[in-house]
Structure 1
Amino acid sequence: MSIIKTGNATYQPLGIKGKGSVSTESGALVNYPYGFNTRFENSGQKGSNPEELIAAAHSSCFTMALSIALEKAGFSEGKLLTQAAVYLDKVDGGYSISKSALILQADVKGMEKSEFIKIAEDAKENCPVSKLLNAEITLTVNFAGDCL
């Protein structure tokens, strides 16, 4: 049985001048603004973008997976801080997300560095968001407009 979490986004009018909002099931984000300007320009306006949200998801997923793995390995005291940098690159015909770079600072009491790196690498490969970044993407369309 799957655990299903949801988010939603709106965008209008269409195109570069449009504005959108994003919301999460938990209410952590409620109609939070995003748009072309907050994604591709340093406009200084309040708002987010998909890459920033992916970075937050990847860093939190990885850090939680690592924390649980460290506890299973017998370590209970420490602190983890992870930053994810998601790279959006211009390519022929548009843009592509090419990389998510995880940068980890860790302090785990009584742990050898080599053992820590092994567990961290496993968490990087196996946290659900890392797997998602190489996953099948599905699309279901419910079209309200006229089909030609």
Structure 2
Amino acid sequence: MKTITRKAEADWKGNLEQGHGLVTTDSQVLVKQEFSFSKRTSQGDHVHTNPEELIAAGLASCFSMALSATLGKHDMIAEQLVVTAGVTLSLTDDGPVVDTLQLDVAGMVEGHSEEEFRKAVEETQQGCPIYKLLEPGFKNIEVNVTLNN
């Protein structure tokens, strides 16, 4: 069995409200990228990363690869797949909760119907390792499928 481990390191300083951290990934795609709870919970901040964005990125990239494999098993080749994942943090009276996942899957798969594409997406939901990991943790999941032929 082959195993692959990827790592990221977070270096945090201070308390929750005024503190901040720096996150770095093994691949160096993220190098000392700043994150903080105050920026995490502000609507307009698109400069700093946050855990929800990183989870969404992991899911979108994994799901697109897994869907490509599913399509291939059914002799379907996508000219293009665009997978957008949204992960919602809700600030409740009991504290922050990551509770909603929205997955928008759009594809161009010439010669195939929207029903065939939708079935491939549903099959991928059963096989994508990151989706399977995340699915039990979400209270709400919405998957939207669009075929753009």
1:21-61 Cα deviation digits (max 9, x unpaired): 11111111111111023201146473111001111111111
Partner Cα distance (1:54, 1:134) in 2: 12
Partner Cα distance (1:5, 1:80) in 2: 25
Q: Which residue of 1 aligns with 2:127?
A: 126
Partner Cα distance (1:71, 1:96) in 2: 37
Greater relative contact order, per chain length (Cα 8 Å cut-off, separation 6+)? 2
- What residue ranges of structure 1 are gaps of 5+ in the alignment? 137-148
- Give, in angstroms, the shift of residue 103 of structure 1: 0.6
Q: How does the TM-score come out when normalised to structure 1?
A: 0.83
Q: Which residue of 1 aligns with 2:53?
A: 52
- Aligned residue pairs total 136
Partner Cα distance (2:80, 2:110) in 1: 9
1:101-139 Cα deviation digits (max 9, x unpaired): 101111101112211111111112321111221579xxx
Q: 1:86-97 counterparts in 2 under 5 A?
A: 86-97=87-98
Q: Which residue of 1 aligns with 2:4?
A: 3
Amino acid at match of 1:27: Q
% identical equivalent positions: 35
Partner Cα distance (1:124, 1:65) in 2: 9
Distance 1:44 1:92, change over 3 A: closer
Is 1:17 paired with 2:6? no
Q: Which residue of 2 aligns with 1:71?
A: 72
Partner Cα distance (1:23, 1:43) in 2: 23
3-state SS in 2 of match to 1:133: helix
3-state SS in 2 of match to 1:47: coil
Partner Cα distance (1:90, 1:18) in 2: 18
- Give, in angstroms, the shift of residue 8 of structure 1: 1.3
Q: Aligned-residue CA RMSD in angstroms? A: 1.9
CA contact (8 A) 1:37 1:43 kept: no
Bigger-Rg structure (1/2): 1
3-state SS in 2 of match to 1:48: coil
